[in-house]
Amino acid sequence: MRYVQKAHELRCVMTILASHQQEIKQYYLAGIKPRVAAAERVEDRLRALFVIASADRRSTGKNNRSLITATDTFVQGLSAKIQECADMEPEQAHQRFWTWLCDLPGMNQKTANLFLKYVVMLHNELHLGTANWQEWEPYLHVPLDIWVVRLIGNEYVNVCNSEFDADFQNGAPRSKKAYQALQNDIREVTATTGHAAIVLDTLWFVGSKYCRHHPLFCESCWIAAQCKREKGTDRESSASLLKSHHRKAVRQAKKELIARYPEEYRRLCDGFRVRTNMASGGEGNSTTV
């Protein structure tokens, strides 16, 4: 393998993430369904899903001109592309559809992969037609989001080598060759776990909801035992923050999380627990955010 040097550790991470897939599905469903379900036609639901995937992980508002152009092109070619893929084998159909998405103006691998993940994951709940979307799951690529790349890099889980660090600076692959090599590595490792490679995209959730608030949420993080930071490399700065700004930091984290999550999936916030007695012996074992 070109990039993955600790396959066993990556398999451990994959197994843990796979055990949380129903929670992750509910997280996405609660945020996406209200924005998609109102559309009557399948094409309109897919258009709405395309806009969501294009905007959710980057600072792209719905009035962004490149997104409008990409969406118009997507809508114009959608029916023909679905029909073209209908009689293909799932792997070939996925590759053909993915290539078409990536060639749309303003699109890239991350948003194309995220759209296909949404389509496959939420096919039944969003009533996305008769296309064989669900059969594409084993062939989905992992959206190489900055948090996915950071977490498997040397700062967190540290399962990749120095060549990976050089080729995936700032979360984006330097070339198509690097992109494909990493996808091949991931698929080779995950094939031995019995889970689809797309499960690894859950690292985006871990990164944006746990690591972003480091060190407050480390102890409740799903992959804390596999994380280099939790194992001690950042203990000193973590302890310093908790001692000097603990109560203020807890209140601020609670406020931010409560504001960020609408009521439909507020229950997921129950997984974010902050221990309030770490610094001073506190009044209780934990605070639920």
Shared domain check, 152 and 244: no
Among 43-52, 59-68, 104-113, whose mean pLDDT is lowest? Answer: 59-68
Flag whether 3 is in a domain: no
Confirm whether 262 is domain-assigned. Answer: yes
Domain that holds residue 241: 209-288
Q: Helix, strand, or coil here: 34?
A: helix
Which domain-ending residue is among 197, 231, 263? Answer: 197
In a domain, 204, yes or no: no
Residues 152 and 131 in one domain: no
| Residue 231 counted as domain residue | yes
Identify whether residues 155 and 77 lie together within a single domain.
Answer: no
Is 106 found in the same domain as 38?
Answer: yes
The answer to whether residue 202 is domain-embedded is: no
**Mean pLDDT (the chain, rounded):** 81
160-203 pLDDT per residue, tens: 999 999 999 877 898 999 999 999 999 999 999 999 999 999 99
Same domain, 189 and 216: no
pLDDT one-digit tens code per residue, 201-246: 999 999 988 887 766 677 778 898 999 876 654 444 444 544 545 5
For the entire predicted model, the pTM comes to: 0.80
Question: What pLDDT is stored for residue 30 in this prediction?
Answer: 86
What's the mean pLDDT in 32-54? Answer: 91
Domain-embedded: residue 7: no
For residues 154 and 42, state if they share a domain: no
Tell me, yes or no, whether 203 lies in a domain.
Answer: no
Residue-level pLDDT at 116: 96
Three-state DSSP class for 218?
A: helix
What is the reported pLDDT for 272? 47
| Residue 56 pLDDT grade (very low, low, confident, very high; cuts 50, 70, 90) | low
**17 and 129 co-located in one domain:** yes
Residues 19 and 129 reside in one and the same domain = yes
- Measured torsion, CA atoms of residues 148, 153, 154, 156, in degrees rounded to the nearest 10: 20
On the question of a cis peptide bond just before residue 90, with omega within 30 degrees of 0, the verdict is no
Q: Domains in the chain: how many in total?
A: 3
Do residues 130 and 47 both lie within one domain? yes
Question: What's the pLDDT at 26?
Answer: 87
At residue 230, the pLDDT reads 62
* Least confidently predicted of 98-102, 151-155, 237-241, 249-253: 237-241
One domain, residues 127 and 239? no
Both 69 and 30 in one domain: the answer is yes
Secondary structure in 3-state letters for 227-285: CCHHHHHCHHHHHHHHHHHHHHHHHHHHHHHHHHCCHHHHHHHHHCEECCCCCCCCCCC
- Give the pLDDT of residue 127: 92
Q: In which band, very low, low, confident or very high, does the pLDDT at 280 lie, cut at 50, 70 and 90?
A: very low
More confident residue, 128 or 275: 128
Domain check: are 129 and 153 in the same one? Answer: no
Mean pLDDT of 133-143: 95
Domain boundary among 139, 162, 183: 139
